Homo-oligomer: A and B are copies of this chain.
Amino acid sequence: MNRPVCLIVPDIDDIEPKSSDPPMTASTPPQPTTEPPTKRDLLLDCAQELFTKEGFHATGIDRILDRAGVAKMTLYNNFGSKEQLIVEVLDRASEGLIGMMGEWAARSSDPFEQVMHLFDGLGEWFSRPDCRGCLLQAAAAEFSDPDSPVTQAIQRHDARVRTLVTRIARATECRAPDDLATQICLLLAGSLSAVRVCRCRQPADAAKRAAAILLEDACRRAEPPRL
């Protein structure tokens, strides 16, 4: 509560919109670099950063504007409302997350290894000191009206994750791939929730071990019983 007001200068670090870390993003739009970002993208970036750090309700429009160095009307011309800004931030964050997960999985062609790489990637992410967990999960905690566009964005993301994981699970050719996918999604959600408290990669590593056991079990049951 009671946060420093009108934070022109960020927490410890930059003023520059240059992200001071290898972006770890997948799927940044294909821009040929060196081109200055549009005001729109700048707003999305700053909004995402502040929403991630402080929460959605706790972050005022003015804080975002100060940070982006952009006039209020630019925001309202581009997004129309704070709610719509939140929705677009969430959609973009989801896109980035799904992209990252896709890249992690693509480190192998074997579906078992793909799942392992999923949690390895998560562990790398969790290791970064600025990692605050999944923004979509945070939004789900802060917005509970099932009809709001924010909730719908969250559900879209959820469906995307499930699709990605289900695709991998089915490739294992185990007996009940959709159940396996559900269990892996639970482990993903669990580690994303846990990292918010422990702030280290441990939940990802633990989830990886659990996923390996579940995977092995699912595939074992698919084969005729030995003996």
C-alpha gap A217/B218 in the complex (Å): 12
User: How many copies of the polypeptide does the oligomer hold?
Assistant: 2
Q: A82-B1, A186-B187, A187-B190 are in contact. Are A209 and B141 (CB under 8 A)?
A: no
Q: Which A9-55 residues have a C-beta within 8 angstroms of B?
A: 53-55
Q: Which A171-197 residues have a C-beta within 8 angstroms of B?
A: 179, 182-183, 185-194, 196-197
Number of interface residues of A (CB under 8 A): 47
Is B190 a contact of A193 with CB atoms below 8 Å? yes
Is A194 a contact of B199 with CB atoms below 8 Å? no
A98 within 8 A of B: no
Is B1 a contact of A83 with CB atoms below 8 Å? yes
Closest partner residue, chain B, to A1 (CB atom): B83
Closest partner residue, chain B, to A59 (CB atom): B57
A140 within 8 A of B: yes
CB neighbours of A1 from chain B (8 A): 81-83, 148
Is B207 a contact of A55 with CB atoms below 8 Å? no
Is A54 a contact of B179 with CB atoms below 8 Å? no
Is B203 a contact of A210 with CB atoms below 8 Å? no
C-alpha gap A143/B142 in the complex (Å): 11
Is B81 a contact of A140 with CB atoms below 8 Å? no
C-alpha gap A185/B132 in the complex (Å): 19
A74 within 8 A of B: no
Is A138 a contact of B142 with CB atoms below 8 Å? yes
Is B199 a contact of A182 with CB atoms below 8 Å? no
8 closest cross-chain pairs (CB), A and B: A190-B190, A186-B190, A141-B141, A57-B57, A138-B141, A189-B190, A189-B193, A183-B210
Q: Can you report 18 A-B residue pairs in the complex whose CB atoms are below 8 A from each other?
A: A1-B81, A58-B142, A132-B144, A140-B196, A140-B197, A141-B196, A144-B196, A182-B206, A183-B207, A185-B190, A186-B191, A186-B206, A187-B187, A187-B190, A189-B191, A192-B193, A210-B210, A213-B217
